[in-house]
C-alpha cells in the first residue's frame, strides 16, 4: 500500500519538533516544517510521484536532500534519522509544544530540571507548584501552563481524523472496492458523508451480487492491519492508519433506509423515528414498515416522503432545525463547489507563499475563476516577511501591471492586515483605500480576555476599509482552541457595518465552524469561502470550505465569492 501524504508529512513534522526541542538551528527546523506543509497539501500522492521517477526536489521547500528523505519514507515507511532522534528525546515531550506558553527551549528546560516527559508529568508539576521555582517561569506562567494543559484534547479525540485525511485514506479504498464487478452500488455513510470536521470510523454500504466474494475482497485490502470480524453480510477491518472500516451488504429494497440509518446523525434519526411512530409507521435500517408490510426503503427520498418530509441533504442531518424546515418546505438550497467564482485570500512569495504572484494567478485562472485576491501579510507578521507601506505600494503596482498582462481573470488588489492589540490596523488608511479587498485577522496576542479580545476586534471594525474578518476564531482543529471572543457582538457589529466573515477552507482550520456559519446566515452576514492558499495546490482546498458551508446551511446567495465581480464590488462597500 502506498505511503500517504499525511504519513510522510507527519514524520517530517515529528522530526522537526524533536530537533526543535534539542535546540537545533531554527532554519533547519523550519525546513522540515515547510517540507511537511508542501507534502500535506499536494493534490497527488507523493508515493506515486516517487514511483514514476518524478523530480520531487523541484517542489516548493524540498530540494535534493529533503527529496532523499521523502523517498526513504515512501520506500520504507519510516526515517532512520527520526528513529535515532526518538532515542534521544522522550516522545511525550513533543506533545508539550501544543501548549501555547511552551516553546522548545522551555520544554527542554522542564525536562532537564524536573524530568518532565509528558503532559501528565507537566500537570502534576504545575499542581505541586514546582514549575514556578524554575528560573524564567514564575507563578503566573505556571498557572497559565496548567490552564492550557487542562484544555489539551483527549487521546480519543486525537485518534479522530480530519475530513481531509479521511478522504485521502478513503478514496483508494473505494477505488479498490469498485474494481469488483459484483458490486452494483457503493456509498460511504456516517459522519464522513455528513462532512463532519473529524471522522471516528467509516461505514460503507454496498449492493452486490455475491456477498461472500465481496467480503473476501474487502478483508484482503492491502492496507488492512487487522480483520476485526468477517461475515457474509458484514465485516470490519482496521487499516494501518488505525481507522476502523465497516462494510455492510444491503438489499436493493432496503438500501435507502440503510443509507438514512447509517448516515445519521443519531439525534436526527431519533426525530424521524418519532415522527414515523406518530403515523403508526416504523423506520429502521431495513425499511419503512406499516405493521409487517414494508411500504418504503429503496431510496432515501421515499423514506422521507413516507413521513411527509422533503429530502434532507446529509450535511444538514444534525437535528438543528432541518426537520421543521423540511416539513415547511424551507430547506436551504446548499451552495456547491461549482458556484464558486473566485478566491478571496491567497499568499505569494512576497510574504510566506511559495509561488510568485503570476504563478498563483495562473493557477486560479486554470480553475476557471473570474477573480482572485492576492492577500499577502502585513508587516506585523514578521515570520511571514509581512509587507510594510512601501512594499505594499510596490505590491499594488505589480498587481495593476499583471492585471493588464493576464487576460480572463481579474486580480483583486488586497491584503491580509493584522488587527493589532489596541484595535488599530497594521497598515495606514492611505494604503488600504487603494485596495479592492481588505481581510483583517488576529495572529498575535491570542490570550487576551474575552472582553479585551472582543473590544479589540470591534475597534478594528470601525476602520472604514475593513471588509472581511479572516479566520474569525483563530482555531486549529485538534490543536488550538478558538480565541475568547463574544461572537454575538461581533456579528451584530458586522451586520451594522456591512462587514463579512471568512470561512477559511484550510482543512486544519475550517474557521468559521458550521454553527457560526448558520448563525451568520441567520444574522444576515455574508461569508467568504477562502482557501488562504500559500501554494498552488492549496487552491484545491476550496471543497473543504464548501463542505463546511453546507453544514452551516449556506446557500449560493449567502457566499460572497459566488457573485460576479460587479455585484461583489457593491457588496464590499461599507455602511
Residue 128 sits in the same domain as residue 177: no
In the predicted model, what is the mean pLDDT of the chain?
Answer: 93
Tell me the average pLDDT across 4-13. Answer: 90
Question: By C-alpha distance, which of 288, 263, 268 is closest to 277?
Answer: 288
The pLDDT of residue 191: 96
Residue 431 sits in the same domain as residue 567: yes
The pLDDT of residue 4: 85
- Give the Cα separation of 557 and 526 in Å (integer): 8
Tell me: pLDDT of 155 over 60: no
Residue 394 sits in the same domain as residue 541: yes
- Give the Cα separation of 265 and 273 in Å (integer): 12
Residue 207 covered by a domain? yes
| 500 contacts: CB under 8 Å, gap ≥ 6 | 467, 468, 469, 494, 525, 526, 527, 528, 560, 571, 572
Domain ends where: 194, 221, 249?
Answer: 249
1 or 369, higher pLDDT: 369
The pLDDT of residue 119: 86
| 497 contacts: CB under 8 Å, gap ≥ 6 | 461, 462, 466, 574, 575
User: What are the CA-CA distances from residue 321 to residues 69, 316, 317, 397, 512 (Å)?
Assistant: 51, 9, 9, 49, 19
User: What are the CA-CA distances from residue 511 to residues 423, 481, 574 (Å)?
Assistant: 21, 11, 23
Tell me the average pLDDT across 309-337. Answer: 97
Burial 503-520, CB ≥16 within 10 A → b, else e: bbbbbbbbbbbbebbbbb
- Give the Cα separation of 197 and 164 in Å (integer): 9
- What CATH number should be reported for the domain holding residue 496? 3.20.20.140
The tally of domains found in the chain comes to: 4
Residue 126 sits in the same domain as residue 177: no
Tell me the average pLDDT across 85-113. Answer: 82
Give, rounded to a whole angstrom, the gap between the first and last alpha carbons of the chain.
56
- What CATH number should be reported for the domain holding residue 294? 3.30.210.10
Residue 332 covered by a domain? no
Residue 129 covered by a domain? yes
Residue 146 sits in the same domain as residue 170: no
360-394 pLDDT tens trace: 999 999 999 999 999 999 999 877 788 999 999 99
Q: In angstroms, how far is CA 286 from the centroid of its own chain?
A: 34
459-500 pLDDT tens trace: 999 999 999 999 999 999 988 889 999 999 999 999 999 999
Question: By C-alpha distance, which of 53, 60, 118 is closest to 91?
Answer: 118
114-154 pLDDT tens trace: 988 888 899 899 899 999 889 888 888 888 888 878 766 55
Domain ends where: 153, 169, 201?
Answer: 153
211-267 pLDDT tens trace: 999 999 999 999 999 999 999 999 999 998 889 999 999 999 999 999 999 999 999
Tell me the average pLDDT across 330-349. Answer: 97
Residue 321 covered by a domain? yes
Residue 374 covered by a domain? yes
- Give the Cα separation of 164 and 192 in Å (integer): 10
Residue 319 sits in the same domain as residue 421: no
Residue 68 sits in the same domain as residue 92: yes
Asked if 466 and 440 touch (Cβ cutoff 8 Å), the reply is yes
Residue 37 covered by a domain? yes
Tell me: pLDDT of 1 over 70: no
Domain ends where: 249, 279, 297?
Answer: 249
Cis status, amide bond into 265, omega within 30 of 0: yes
- What CATH number should be reported for the domain holding residue 187? 3.30.460.10
The torsion angles phi and psi of 500, rounded to 5 degrees, stand at -110, 160
Q: Read off the DSSP letter of residue 483.
A: P
Residue 79 covered by a domain? yes
Residue 243 sits in the same domain as residue 281: no
| 37 contacts: CB under 8 Å, gap ≥ 6 | 9, 61, 534, 535
Q: Return the ∠ at Cα 177 (arms to 173 and 180), rounded to 5°.
A: 155
Residue 502 sits in the same domain as residue 433: yes
28 or 439, higher pLDDT: 439
Residue 415 sits in the same domain as residue 395: yes
Q: What is the largest CA-CA distance in the chain?
A: 77
Residue 472 covered by a domain? yes
* Pairing state between β 437-441 and 468-469: parallel
Residue 75 sits in the same domain as residue 200: no
Residue 170 sits in the same domain as residue 319: no
Residue 191, domain extent: 161-249
- What CATH number should be reported for the domain holding residue 15? 1.10.150.110
Question: By C-alpha distance, which of 491, 428, 416 is closest to 461?
Answer: 491
Amino acid at each position: 500500500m502506498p505511503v500517504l501524504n499525511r504519513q510522510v508529512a507527519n514524520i517530517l513534522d515529528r522530526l522537526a519538533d524533536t530537533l526543535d526541542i534539542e535546540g537545533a538551528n531554527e532554519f533547519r527546523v523550519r525546513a522540515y516544517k515547510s517540507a511537511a506543509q508542501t507534502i500535506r497539501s499536494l493534490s497527488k500522492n507523493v508515493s506515486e510521484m516517487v514511483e514514476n521517477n518524478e523530480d520531487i526536489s523541484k517542489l516548493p521547500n524540498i530540494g535534493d536532500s529533503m527529496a532523499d528523505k521523502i523517498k526513504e519514507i515512501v520506500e520504507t515507511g519510516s526515517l532512520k534519522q527520526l528513529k535515532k532522534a526518538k532515542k534521544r528525546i522522550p516522545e511525550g515531550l513533543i506533545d508539550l509544544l501544543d501548549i501555547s506558553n511552551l516553546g522548545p527551549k522551555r520544554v527542554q528546560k522542564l525536562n532537564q530540571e524536573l524530568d518532565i516527559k509528558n503532559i501528565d508529568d507537566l500537570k502534576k508539576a504545575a499542581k505541586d507548584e514546582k514549575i514556578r521555582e524554575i528560573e524564567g517561569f514564575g507563578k503566573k506562567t505556571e498557572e497559565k501552563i496548567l490552564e492550557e494543559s487542562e484544555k489539551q484534547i483527549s487521546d480519543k479525540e486525537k485518534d479522530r481524523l480530519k475530513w481531509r485525511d479521511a478522504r485521502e485514506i478513503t478514496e483508494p479504498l473505494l477505488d479498490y472496492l469498485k474494481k469488483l464487478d459484483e458490486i452494483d452500488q457503493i456509498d460511504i455513510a456516517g459522519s464522513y458523508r455528513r462532512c463532519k470536521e473529524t471522522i471516528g470510523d467509516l461505514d460503507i454500504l454496498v449492493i452486490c451480487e455475491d456477498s461472500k466474494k465481496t467480503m473476501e475482497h474487502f478483508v484482503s485490502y492491502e492496507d488492512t492491519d487487522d480483520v476485526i470480524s468477517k461475515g457474509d453480510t458484514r465485516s470490519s477491518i482496521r487499516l494501518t492508519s488505525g481507522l476502523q472500516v465497516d462494510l455492510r451488504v444491503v438489499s436493493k429494497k432496503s438500501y435507502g433506509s440503510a443509507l438514512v440509518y447509517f448516515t445519521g446523525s443519531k439525534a436526527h434519526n431519533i426525530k424521524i423515528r418519532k415522527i414515523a411512530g406518530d403515523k403508526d409507521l416504523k423506520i429502521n435500517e431495513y425499511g419503512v414498515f406499516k405493521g409487517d408490510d414494508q411500504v418504503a426503503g429503496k431510496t432515501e427520498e421515499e423514506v422521507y416522503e413516507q413521513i411527509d418530509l422533503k429530502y434532507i441533504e446529509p450535511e444538514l442531518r444534525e437535528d438543528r432545525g432541518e426537520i421543521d424546515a423540511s416539513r415547511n418546505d424551507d430547506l436551504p438550497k446548499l451552495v456547491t463547489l461549482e458556484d464558486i467564482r473566485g478566491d478571496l485570500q491567497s499568499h505569494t512569495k512576497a510574504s510566506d507563499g511559495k509561488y510568485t504572484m503570476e504563478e498563483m494567478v495562473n493557477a486560479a485562472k486554470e480553475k476557471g475563476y473570474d477573480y482572485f485576491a492576492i492577500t499577502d501579510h502585513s508587516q506585523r507578521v514578521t515570520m511571514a516577511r509581512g509587507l510594510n507601506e512601501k512594499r505594499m505600494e510596490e505590491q499594488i503596482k505589480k498587481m495593476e501591471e499583471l492585471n493588464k498582462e493576464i487576460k480572463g481573470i481579474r486580480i483583486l488588489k488586497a491584503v491580509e492586515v493584522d488587527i493589532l492589540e489596541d484595535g488599530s490596523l497594521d497598515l495606514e488608511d492611505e494604503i488600504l483605500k487603494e485596495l479592492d479587498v481588505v481581510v483583517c485577522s488576529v495572529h498575535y496576542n491570542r490570550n487576551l480576555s474575552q472582553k479585551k479580545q472582543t473590544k479589540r476586534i470591534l475597534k478594528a471594525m470601525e476602520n472604514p476599509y475593513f471588509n472581511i474578518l479572516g479566520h474569525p476564531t483563530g482555531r486549529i482543529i485538534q490543536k488550538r482552541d478558538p480565541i475568547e471572543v463574544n461572537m454575538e457582538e461581533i456579528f451584530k457589529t458586522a451586520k451594522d457595518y456591512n462587514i463579512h466573515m471568512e470561512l477559511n477552507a484550510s482543512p486544519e482550520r475550517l474557521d468559521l465552524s458550521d454553527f457560526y456559519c448558520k448563525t451568520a446566515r441567520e444574522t444576515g452576514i455574508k461569508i467568504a469561502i477562502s482557501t488562504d492558499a500559500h501554494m498552488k495546490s492549496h487552491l484545491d482546498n476550496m471543497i473543504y470550505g464548501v463542505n463546511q458551508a453546507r453544514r452551516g446551511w449556506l446557500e449560493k446567495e449567502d457566499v460572497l465569492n459566488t457573485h460576479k465581480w460587479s455585484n461583489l464590488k457593491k457588496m464590499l462597500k461599507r455602511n
